[in-house]
Amino acid sequence: MKLPSILPVGPQPNSPVGDDRFHDECGVYGVFGHEDAAAHTVLGLHALQHRGQEAAGIVSYDSGQFHSERFLGEVAENFSAQDVIDRLHGSVAIGHNRYSTAGETVLRNVQPLFAEFAFGGLAVAHNGNLTNGVGLRRRLVRNGSIFQSTTDTEVLIHLIAMSPLTDVIDRLVDALRQAVGAYSLVALTKDILIGVRDPLGVRPLVLGQLGEAMILASETCALDIIGAEFVRDISPGELVVIDDSGVRSMFPFPKSPERFCVFEYIYFARPDSVIEGANVYEARKRIGAELARENGVDADVVIPVPDSGTPAAMGYASETGIPFELGIIRNHYVGRTFIEPSASIRHLGVKLKHNANRYKIANKRVILVDDSIVRGTTSTKIVDMVRQAGATEVHMRIASPPTAHSCFYGVDTPEQSELLAACNDVDAMRKMIGVDSLAFISIDGLYRAMGHTAGRNDALPQYCDACFTGDYPIPLTDREDGEAPQQLSLLAEST
């Protein structure tokens, strides 16, 4: 999806909590063969809103014409009006939710991207990141390509345009064979809907059915919202072509060991989704239970950092028998527009979004459960809030191993130097966050919770767990080629 995965990324200015989280960077959706294709795509994107809130777009096709509506902002802000949906004629459509860094939030980067080729029109929407996107782009520019966005989705568009092959599927495969990285993408021509997952299957993509219509979606929660049935996951390395004759499947890439992103289970995916056969909510509870087995502590109450820490905290409480309480209440109505980009108000972020439920905290020994620690800024503020509410002890338990490495596979993460775990051992982190004890689930514990009883080394398939282990399963080609400075200048020129 976006090119500048190797840019230093600071806290998002419009976040109510300083945005001390990894961010998934896109949700994709596609409908083939339904008279309300655009309306269903709006609903699907709404269900996938957690995967990207900065922009959304839909392209549909009808009677010789593609229709495109793309906006900055959330789905409900821009696609609620009937006239917008009415402009997206046709029984086929694809859509995209985007999360982006502040400097890139420009309309030209909003997907799906659409281009006219010798074979006709093609719209593409992409979740992931090409780790050789900058190098490919440089080569394309040298050969005369003119870019209009900073997305690596446009790199794919140019590669498709340059392909000497004639068939659109062959051209797409030709383009993707030159790409290195993680991607789940959907594409639309006048008569086919295409879905593809990269050979390692890092990002999710599922196939669903609604009557005669076929649906592609990043997660199953986006099938549920329209009442579609889950058919199956698109397999790693699989390309599906959906047309009037049905669904065709092909595997046009060299086979690789699967490496699905384990962080999807920990944080990114919606808890009601089922991915690769596992319900995300149940996975989080199992992770919490394993965390408790590994890192028990005597306390009076288990409290989640809402919302993403909640299932893990339930698993932790159930395993230990310590009561689970909602000791921190999240204000769900803190929206993007509420926050002004001024330091004087931004430091209030945590209090705007969370408040301590004093009645459940005062005079108690508290175990706080969260999904992860990124920079540690939010954790520090939440711990301070819990202490001010009268906790006698605060113990923090984290439902992921220490996040010590950046992600380059379609997730917006800080530079490694900004990650608390990259530069500090657990005891140093404990002191900085201000807790009486701090513990993380081990990497083997995480794998055990995901059903691999012997831990990471015996797990087949393994997950991508690079942000914990530094074991990057896909080459970081641009970074190894020292492309970061050029990438910065490309961005600066184009935004």
Q: Which residues are catalytic?
A: 26
Question: CB-wise, 61 or 263, nearer to ligand SF4?
Answer: 263
Least CB distance from residue 317 to ligand SF4, whole Å? 26
- Considering the complex, what minimum distance in angstroms separates the CB of residue 180 from ligand SF4? 14
Q: How far is the CB of 268 from ligand SF4 (least distance, A)?
A: 7
CB of 493 to ligand SF4, least distance (A): 28
Where on the chain is the footprint of ligand SF4 (CB under 6 A)?
22, 202, 261-263, 407, 409, 411, 464-467
Burial of 89 by CB count in 10 Å (0-12 exposed, 13-18 middle, 19+ buried)? middle
Map tokens 């900073």 to a residue.
150
Q: How far is the CB of 21 from ligand SF4 (least distance, A)?
A: 11
Q: 26 or 467: whose CB is closer to ligand SF4?
A: 467
Token pair, residue 484, equals 């970061």
Q: Is the CB of 22 or the CB of 316 nearer to ligand SF4?
A: 22
Q: Are 198 and 173 in contact (CB under 8 A)?
A: no
- Closest CB to ligand SF4 among residues 114, 409: 409
Residue with Cβ nearer ligand SF4 (261 or 303): 261
By beta carbon distance, the residue nearest ligand SF4 is: 407
Nearer to ligand SF4, 335 or 470 (CB): 470
* Angle 113-117-123 from CA coordinates, rounded to 5°: 25
Say how far residue 217 (Cα) sits from the centre of its chain: 13
Residue 474 beta carbon to ligand SF4: minimum distance, rounded to whole angstroms: 9
Looking at the Cβ atoms of 399 and 467, the one nearer to ligand SF4 is 467
Q: In whole angstroms, how close is the CB of 67 to ligand SF4 at the nearest point?
A: 33
98 forms beta bridges with 26, 55
